Chain A
Amino acid sequence: MDIVVCVKRVPATDSKIKVGADGKSIDPAGIEFVLNPYDEFAVEEAIKTRETLGSGSVTVITLGTGDSQKELRTCLAMGADKAVLLDASGLPGGGAGLDACATARIVADHVKGIPHDAVFCGRQAVDGDDSQFPSRLAALLDLPCVTEVAKLELSDGRYRAERDIEGAREVVDCPTPCVISTNKGLNEPRYANLKGIMAAKKKPLETIAVSAAEPATETTGLELPPERSGGKIVDSVSDLVAALKNEAKVL
């Protein structure tokens, strides 16, 4: 079974974000970047599938710049066989203006050329948080799609996927090929072990320069949440209730 995993380089979740000079993107200076945590579940699931079946391949693909090679190498060190960097450094702002629609178009164009019985991706990237990519990719590839999967079983070429919905767990049957977006709980992603890191150096990492695709939306501004202001000491419970009701307006 050949699996393609779409991954993204994102700021570590405990990063202190600063807005860049353009007022609509983050300033990358001093930020630690990591593999998107939800993508780790996708990579782990793909590698586990290959290990269980004893055959097949895992190809990781990302849209980014040369910096994203680090996250691809991490995937290779975990056990992926091959990596593809769709290099957007020739695009305006290194592809910074690409929305989920344009990103999905570019990635879909290239995934079409890679044999795939399934495409895995994290349920969302923790930077943009718009959760659009998996569904858009499935639509462009004309594949069935199950999102936010917390348990996945493969038998006779079909997936039985479980997903957490409000107050219940939904069980979905899905043929392959398909697109699966992965959620927390699906597995326990492995650490890239030291032998894996050494082996990753010898695995293929292909870089393909991409051309622009038409975005559907445009990000026009980025603002940090307001700074927390100082606390206020109230004298009694009734004052507290009044303050919550009239000042904070949370009651």
Chain B
Amino acid sequence: MSSYKAPDFYQIDDLLTEEECMVRDSVRDWVSAEFMPVIEEHNRAATFPADLIPQLGELGVLGAGLEGYGCAGLSPTSYGLILQELERGDSGLRSFVSVQGSLCMFPIHAYGTEEQKQKWLPKMAKGELIGCFGLTEADFGSNPGGMLTRLDDAGDHYVLNGSKYWITNGCVADVAIVSAKLDGVVRLILVEKGTPGYSTNTIKNKFSLRASVTSELVFEDVKVPKANLLPGVEGLKGPLSCLNSARYGIAFGAVGAAMAVYDEALRYSQNRIMFDRPIARFQLVQNKLVWMINEITKGQLLAWRLGKLKESHKLHHSHVSLAKRNNCWMALECCRLARDILGANGITDEYQVMRHMCNLESVITYEGTHDIHALIVGREITGENAIM
């Protein structure tokens, strides 16, 4: 298959700065050259291409939106665009980078002590240390405030008990940023791999995000030094601000996945001959392709505007909810249409569409489900809280 050609029907590139284009193109080229040749075999084997982590560090995508500590200090729009390109490769790759940057490095950067920042951030930016983020529990997904994991003050240290579920990178992480209740208040605390009582289990047999490690974290009377608490935040605001940062990235990332399957379906339709003509010449096929480019274009503009709102400090979390919700939905619909255009061929992993489709079933659910984001936007516009 010839090289990927990213759609830009509305010349949205004209809205981007030279730096934003360069950053995006650099990551796009890396994904094409280094990631695309290996993704299908990793997806089949249900493994993450861990040997590429040093390259991700060298490229500078880990914690790329943060300032200092070896991070690239990109603008929010540039950061979003790199996630778009990574998810064009695979949602698992984008998840890895989102978790490392938005869910782990971001809270250390925003709420950690100087010692915590110096200890973790430079090595995490290089990919030498991997993080995971433990918020969700098996029985507390959309309602994180109900979490059972707790911290108890034992004088010179805390004792952590509980478990976390659906944790990306859990088994491979050197450090977990765990949400737990201390005296009934949610706090974020760093738990290092190898601490007695801290164990992980791999969640196996996934249909989705196969090229990404998903785990359970178990804490049984884990002694955690008091210095590991992130002092800068208390309450659900801590983990939710991390999620907001990650959801921002997903709004861009989903556009990348949609672009990947659109590009594949477009090429296929131009080359696939049926009734002695390329199927692109059929009205019903064109209608599907037009639906896709139409929604991708809208998704690009939503994501772009999200970046500008963030840059001008006008971003509200309901703006992120609207874009995350719309773009995951439209990307998943694009996958279904693209698979249809590819006919039977679309169900094999010779083509990427089913991989993206299955991945997006996770992406539309994690970091706030489609419905929860509707309720967040709904609460914002009506002033009525329908979440609980």
Contacts and interface: CB of A to CB of B under 8 A. Distances in A.
B60 A194 contact: yes
B182 interface: no
A200 B59 CA distance: 15
Contact of B19 (A69, A193, A195, A201): A201
A193 B59 contact: yes
Contacts of B64: 194
B19 A192 contact: no
Contacts of A197: 19, 22-23, 26, 72
A132 B74 CA distance: 41
A196 B60 CA distance: 9
B3 A198 contact: no
B332 to A, nearest CB: 29
A194 B3 contact: no
Contacts of A201: 19
Contacts of A191: 26, 29-30, 58-59
Contacts of B73: 198
Interface in B15-41: 18-19, 21-23, 26-27, 29-30
B2 interface: yes
A69 B19 CA distance: 12
B82 interface: yes
Contacts of B23: 194, 197
A77 B2 contact: no
B58 A193 contact: yes
Interface residues on B, range: 20 to 34
A193 B78 CA distance: 13
B22 A77 contact: yes
Interface string A193-214: 1111110110000000000000
Given A73-B18, A194-B82, A195-B72, A14 B26 contact: no
Contacts of A193: 26, 58-60, 72
A70 interface: yes
Contact of B72 (A14, A73, A74, A198): A198
B72 A192 contact: no
Nearest to B57: A193
B61 interface: yes
B2 A192 contact: no
Contacts, number: 48
Interface in B183-202: none
Nearest to B71: A195
A45 to B, nearest CB: 19
Nearest to B125: A195
A196 B27 CA distance: 13
A27 to B, nearest CB: 17
Nearest to A32: B5
Given A14-B2, A14-B3, A194 B59 contact: yes
Interface string A153-197: 000000000000000000000000000000000000001111111
A96 B174 CA distance: 56
Nearest to A194: B60
B22 A195 contact: no
A69 B82 CA distance: 22
A194 B66 CA distance: 12
A199 to B, nearest CB: 9
B3 A192 contact: no
Nearest to B21: A70
Nearest to A12: B3
Nearest to A74: B22
A12 to B, nearest CB: 9
A107 to B, nearest CB: 24
B233 to A, nearest CB: 27
A110 B77 CA distance: 38
Given A14-B3, A74-B22, A194 B30 contact: no
Nearest to A201: B19
Contact of A198 (B18, B21, B74, B82): B74
A-B pairs, top 6 by smallest CB distance, nearest first, are A194-B60, A194-B72, A193-B60, A195-B72, A192-B26, A195-B60
24 contacts: A14-B3, A69-B18, A70-B18, A73-B22, A77-B26, A191-B26, A191-B29, A191-B30, A191-B58, A193-B26, A193-B60, A194-B27, A194-B61, A194-B72, A194-B74, A194-B82, A195-B72, A197-B22, A197-B26, A198-B19, A198-B72, A198-B73, A200-B22, A201-B19
Given A192-B22, A201-B19, 6 more contacts: A77-B22, A193-B60, A194-B27, A194-B59, A194-B72, A194-B74
